[in-house]
Amino acid sequence: MKLTVLLFLSLVVLSHPLLSQIYLAPDGDDNNPGTFLLPFATFPKAISEANPGDTIYVRGGVYDLTNTITITAVKNGTANQFYTLTAYQNEIPILDFSAQPFGLKGISLQANYWHFKGLNIKGAGDNGMDINFGSYNIIEQCKFYENRDSGLQLSHGSSYNQIINCDSYFNADPPDYGDADGFAPKLTVGTDNYFYGCRAWVNCDDGWDGYLRGADSVYTTLENCWTWGNGYLKDGTDPGPQANGNGFKMGGGDNSNGDSLMHHMYLRNCVAFANKNKGFDQNNNLGSMTLFQCTGYSNITANYRIQRALVPGQTLTVKNCVSYYGLVQLGSFAIQETNSWLPPFVVASDDFLSLDTSLASAPRQADGSLPEIDLLHLAEGSDLIDAGVDLGFPFFGAAPDLGAFESNYVAVIGGLTELVEQFQLLQNYPNPFNPETHIIYLLSTPDRVTLSVFDVMGKHIRTLVDGQRQSAGEYSVTWDGTNESGIQVAAGVYLYRLELENGMAEFRKMFLIK
């Protein structure tokens, strides 16, 4: 006990240069030491005091800001020591840049290995956040809204950033209203940026925009992302044709000067609906595009339009996708399999549990993941259930379903379906985590269970439950972040997959931070 107290005191005495936790609050003071009880007031002060591995806790409340928060490469973290800038617990910090002059950005992130979490960024005079010259950053559970250009932009070679469970909406650039997208990995963006579980709605230009100018042959991946209602202002008015109104604009450049810009796009389980223009839009992208298990609904010009021939050697692959109430315009070069617009499928409103698009902006779940809603999920009896081709991802029943949402129904003889739910695999907690996390699952009947961890490339990392027979009930398994050899693995996204004896399986993502 005495030793603990002594250690504690010595840490307090030495704390200033060794701070690992820095606090920031709207009623703080930059003359404070930046502790929980005596927090700093400004972002620049907190950032200047932080070292790699430190966490800056941002208390809830409104921060009225006019200057751009700029984080330069002087503050680069490392793969093992991120800088973390996060909302404190469940508090809601609102970085309100509404008083900024037009043209100033909210946050300019020019550094590597930063982890932003839980911040609301609104009203900036330009981008809410621009990651420029910044790579390997994680932007998680942040909201970007009512900014006067794109909510989150990636530029100047920014690469390997992960945008997880973020929302971007009501962004609009007066007076022209021609540029503000929800998420903009565009122009000079770098490669291998990754979006997961993000939503973009009612941005005046596009939901996502991958238009290139100055970059070429870059890769962007989107999984479980939704976008809708783009091309309009928050009040529902249409500011004109310069407000393009595409959901996922996948490229590519004007390609009017003989250039052949390629933005290689991979979209899986993505949804676009009710956009003013196209849902999934080539926009002259001449690179490879892969659309797996996507759903387009009620986009006014077309649900899918990818018609212009690609650079030789590049491919357009569209599999297990759904279109309802909108055009599909794909070039004959498209590699297609089991899409809902191909025979023998017939798509009608009764294929879906719900077409109530107002559900899509529902609040997220406590862990930041997308809300569980019925919109565009398949209904019992749909011929789209178990109708897809196996693309290597877990599914219920005999085959993957078509579209973005794998249902709990499986096809049985005679074109009927029945509900099965033999297990539930829950989101791990804590998540993100370091060093360990817990995975909980439920079995409704006794079964043999295998629970394994993979990296995002599908490489096996660790088996946690190895085919053991378990009775019905609830199980909790802890993963300590090590591989089969007991070695700590690197920070990043991992998948855990639960498989039953009959091959039925489900996986979820988890997020190891260092």
| Three-class secondary structure of residue 16 per DSSP | helix
Going by the DSSP 8-state scheme, the letter that residue 9 receives in this structure is H
Nearer to Ca ion, 130 or 383 (CB): 383
Asked if 180 and 209 touch (Cβ cutoff 8 Å), the reply is: no
Asked if 492 and 456 touch (Cβ cutoff 8 Å), the reply is: yes
For CA atoms 331, 336, 342, 348, the dihedral sign is negative
Alpha-carbon span 72 to 320, nearest angstrom = 43
Strand partners, 292: 268, 319
- Minimum separation from the CB atom of position 42 to Ca ion (A): 33
Asked if 437 and 456 touch (Cβ cutoff 8 Å), the reply is: no
Residue 249 annotated in active site: yes
495 to each of 48, 83, 246, how far by Cα in Å? Answer: 35, 24, 31
> What's the first-to-final CA gap in the chain, in angstroms?
29
- Minimum separation from the CB atom of position 346 to Ca ion (A): 5
Asked if 161 and 136 touch (Cβ cutoff 8 Å), the reply is: yes
Alpha-carbon span 294 to 290, nearest angstrom = 10
Strands, DSSP E only, in 338-422?
409-412, 416-419
Nearer to Ca ion, 130 or 401 (CB): 401
- Minimum separation from the CB atom of position 47 to Ca ion (A): 30
Q: Phi and psi (nearest 5°) for 209? A: -135, 120
- Minimum separation from the CB atom of position 66 to Ca ion (A): 26
- Minimum separation from the CB atom of position 283 to Ca ion (A): 9
Asked if 202 and 181 touch (Cβ cutoff 8 Å), the reply is: no
Residue 238 CB-half CA count within 13 A: 10
- Minimum separation from the CB atom of position 220 to Ca ion (A): 14
Nearer to Ca ion, 53 or 178 (CB): 178
Nearer to Ca ion, 83 or 423 (CB): 423
Asked if 187 and 156 touch (Cβ cutoff 8 Å), the reply is: no
For CA atoms 405, 411, 417, 419, the dihedral sign is negative
| Three-class secondary structure of residue 10 per DSSP | helix
Alpha-carbon span 441 to 171, nearest angstrom = 39
Alpha-carbon span 301 to 247, nearest angstrom = 11
Residues 6+ apart with CB under 8 A from 410: 385, 386, 396, 397, 398, 417, 418, 420
AA letter at 337: E
- Minimum separation from the CB atom of position 186 to Ca ion (A): 7
- Minimum separation from the CB atom of position 483 to Ca ion (A): 31
Nearer to Ca ion, 49 or 386 (CB): 386
**Residue 233 exposed, middle or buried by CB count within 10 Å (0-12, 13-18, 19+):** middle
Nearer to Ca ion, 167 or 209 (CB): 209
Which entry of 75, 117, 249, 509 is annotated as an active-site residue?
Answer: 249
- Minimum separation from the CB atom of position 192 to Ca ion (A): 21
Nearer to Ca ion, 130 or 205 (CB): 205
Residue 413 CB-half CA count within 13 A: 0
Q: Interface with Ca ion by CB under 5 A: which residues?
A: 178, 181, 205-206, 209, 244, 346, 351, 383, 386, 395-397, 401
Nearer to Ca ion, 78 or 408 (CB): 408
Q: Active-site positions?
A: 249
